[in-house]
């Protein structure tokens, strides 16, 4: 057995490849909770690493600054030297991105595993001692096997053990989710060395997570569980959004329906907020992945079932734009519209797959003039809409965004938007003034009293027209 050289006062050397939304916060938490380990995060993107080493971190996540500051330079390090990182570590987390393939077989559906495979090859090339490799990225079931095949392809005396340890953190609550996880899932081979590697990873988490929350399974169940968890969560949102559309037609109120339904202990109250649609880097990608796998095994009905979760989400975004168009006399041309929020949810600057991207693009096609405001996501919004021809402004101040606008469309449930002075906003807008609440976050009856025509999701519109 070959052992990595370790700095004497650290009992373990942990490496993470990929300093993104998952790798960064997860490793920061491990370093914060386990001063006895040395934790290094590497990335091929030098700008990202420079940001992690600076006062302004590359991602916004409540509570992240504090734990990074506490551990950085002590036992948490950010670096671009991937080769040295691999050589010096005994546990390597792989958290590189696995986007949906845009080309070739499975385009638009299957996971693009090129970064994943490159990383495996790089580990193989640089490793001079035994390693435990931990899949952190969400991957199609049986990817660990592909990783193993690459790692076992040459015999240089170095031994690898591949574990699956999917991350369940949600953006915006990442620190809380990492500190008090519902569960930690670790999948391994059921061989002696597989179980030993699993034990080593359990030991890492046991530094702060109660034993009964650390769940161990075989490797394939672990990989599949992550896809299924995301598919079930997304399915709840699509289910309530489908009912929201029905509520709008029947004068029922989706919030009251969700409350009544969620009080059934078997169903539960979480994740039943009707919205303009779900976004984020995971849900769509992971469901597509599940659908692709089902098709691969000839399970076409099963594939269709899960695909419909995404279809409802697409419908929800289209439906929102149609509501705006119909309400505003079937023309948006030349009208100024303020988009309140661009992030895919509150408390993050992340805009990947944000419904706001689709809605902004559609409104621009209708020749509306957009003014976008968001407390954290303006830089990403700018990048997302680059190349879209039309009139778009990006402003920090929501009051300025609203001034002169015909309509406000709320895209993200930022608490800031609840607390605005809507009387002042109403006065500054073109009349009749419209508000389309894509997140049901403002007080609809009060806004109606102020003079707004109010269009919530899944509730009767309050309008004077």
- Give the C-alpha separation, 368 to 364, whole Å: 5
Catalytic residue flag (residue 282): yes
Q: How far is the CB of 57 from ligand UDX (least distance, A)?
A: 12
Listed ranges 163-171, 195-203, 301-309, 356-364: which one lies at the site for ligand UDX (CB under 6 A): 163-171
Closest chain position to ligand UDX (CB): 20
Q: Which is nearer to ligand UDX, 410 or 435 (CB)?
A: 410
Q: Report if residue 120 touches ligand UDX, rule: CB under 6 A.
A: no
| String of contacts with ligand UDX for each residue 255-294, x by CB under 6 A | ----------------xxx-x--xxxxxx-----------
- Give the C-alpha separation, 274 to 244, whole Å: 7
- How big, in percent rounded to 5, are the helix, strand and coil portions of the chain? 45, 15, 40
- Give the C-alpha separation, 32 to 274, whole Å: 36
| Closest by CA position to 286, among listed 258, 262, 313 | 313
List the beta strands (DSSP E) in 336-447.
Answer: 336-340, 369-373, 392-394, 407-410, 434-437
Q: Which is nearer to ligand UDX, 279 or 398 (CB)?
A: 279
Q: How far is the CB of 240 from ligand UDX (least distance, A)?
A: 7
| String of contacts with ligand UDX for each residue 127-146, x by CB under 6 A | ----------xx--------
Q: Which is nearer to ligand UDX, 214 or 328 (CB)?
A: 214
CA-based end-to-end distance of the chain: 78
User: Which one among 40, 75, 89, 98 touches ligand UDX, defined by CB under 6 A?
Assistant: 98
Q: Report if residue 27 touches ligand UDX, rule: CB under 6 A.
A: no
Structure tokens that stand for 410 in this block: 């709320």
The SS3 call for residue 241 is helix
User: Which one among 28, 91, 96, 447 touches ligand UDX, defined by CB under 6 A?
Assistant: 96
The dihedrals phi and psi of 281, each to the nearest 5 degrees, come to -75, -15
Q: How far is the CB of 27 from ligand UDX (least distance, A)?
A: 11
Q: How far is the CB of 50 from ligand UDX (least distance, A)?
A: 12
Structure tokens that stand for 223 in this block: 């990989």
Q: Report if residue 169 touches ligand UDX, rule: CB under 6 A.
A: yes
Among 16, 247, 282, 294, the one annotated catalytic: 282
Angstrom distances, CA of residue 171 to CA of 178, 241, 447: 11, 21, 30
- Give the C-alpha separation, 173 to 307, whole Å: 28
User: Which one among 4, 15, 16, 17 touches ligand UDX, defined by CB under 6 A?
Assistant: 17
User: Which one among 12, 16, 20, 60 touches ligand UDX, defined by CB under 6 A?
Assistant: 20
- Give the C-alpha separation, 369 to 93, whole Å: 45
Q: Report if residue 97 touches ligand UDX, rule: CB under 6 A.
A: yes
Q: How far is the CB of 155 from ligand UDX (least distance, A)?
A: 25
Sequence-distant (≥ 6) Cβ neighbours of residue 99 within 8 angstroms: 111, 112, 285
The SS3 call for residue 454 is strand
Q: Say if residues 314 and 383 touch (Cβ distance below 8 Å).
A: no
Q: Which residues are catalytic?
A: 282
The residues binding ligand UDX (CB under 6 A) are 17-23, 43-45, 48, 95-98, 115, 118-119, 137-138, 167-171, 230, 233, 237, 271-273, 275, 278-283, 344-345
């Amino acid at each position: 057995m070959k052992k990595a050289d370790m700095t004497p006062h650290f009992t373990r050397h942990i490496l993470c490849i990929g300093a993104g939304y998952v790798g960064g916060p997860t490793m920061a938490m491990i370093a914060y909770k386990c001063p006895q380990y040395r934790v290094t995060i590497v990335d091929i993107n030098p700008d990202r690493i420079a940001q992690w080493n600076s006062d302004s971190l590359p991602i916004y996540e409540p509570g992240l600054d504090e734990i990074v500051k506490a551990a950085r330079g002590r036992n948490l390090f950010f670096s671009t030297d991937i080769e040295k990182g691999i050589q010096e570590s005994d546990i390597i987390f792989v958290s590189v991105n696995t986007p949906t393939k845009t080309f070739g077989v499975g385009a638009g559906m299957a996971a693009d595993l090129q970064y994943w495979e490159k990383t495996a090859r790089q580990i193989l090339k640089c490793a001079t001692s035994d390693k435990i490799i931990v899949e952190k990225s969400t991957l199609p079931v049986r990817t660990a096997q592909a990783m193993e095949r690459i790692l076992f392809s040459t015999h240089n005396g170095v031994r690898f053990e591949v574990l699956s340890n999917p991350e369940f953190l949600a953006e915006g609550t990442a620190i809380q989710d990492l500190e008090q996880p519902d569960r930690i899932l670790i999948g391994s081979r059921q061989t002696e060395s597989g179980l030993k590697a699993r034990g080593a990873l359990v030991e890492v988490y046991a530094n702060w997570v109660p034993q009964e929350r650390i769940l161990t399974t075989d490797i394939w169940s672990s990989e599949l569980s992550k896809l299924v968890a995301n598919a079930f969560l997304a399915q709840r949102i699509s289910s309530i959004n489908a009912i929201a559309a029905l509520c709008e037609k029947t004068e029922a109120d989706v919030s009251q329906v969700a409350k009544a339904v969620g009080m059934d202990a078997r169903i539960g109250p979480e994740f039943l907020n009707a919205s303009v649609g779900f976004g984020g880097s995971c849900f769509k990608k992971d469901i597509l992945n599940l659908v692709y796998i089902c098709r691969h095994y000839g399970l076409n009905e099963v594939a269709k079932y899960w695909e419909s979760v995404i279809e409802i989400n697409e419908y929800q975004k289209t439906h929102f734009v149609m509501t705006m168009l119909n309400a505003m006399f079937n023309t948006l041309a030349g009208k100024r519209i303020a988009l309140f929020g661009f992030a895919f949810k509150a408390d993050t600057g992340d805009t990947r797959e944000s419904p706001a991207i689709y809605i902004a693009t559609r409104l621009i096609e209708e020749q509306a003039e957009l003014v976008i405001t968001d407390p954290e996501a303006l830089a990403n919004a700018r990048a997302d809409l680059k190349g879209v021809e039309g009139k778009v402004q990006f402003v920090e101040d929501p009051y300025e965004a609203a001034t002169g606008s015909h309509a406000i469309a709320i895209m993200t449930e930022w608490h800031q938007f609840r607390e605005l002075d809507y009387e002042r906003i109403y006065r500054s807008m073109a009349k009749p003034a419209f508000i389309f609440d894509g997140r049901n976050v403002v007080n609809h009856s009060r806004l109606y009293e102020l003079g707004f025509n109010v269009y919530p999701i899944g509730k009767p519109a309050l309008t004077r027209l």
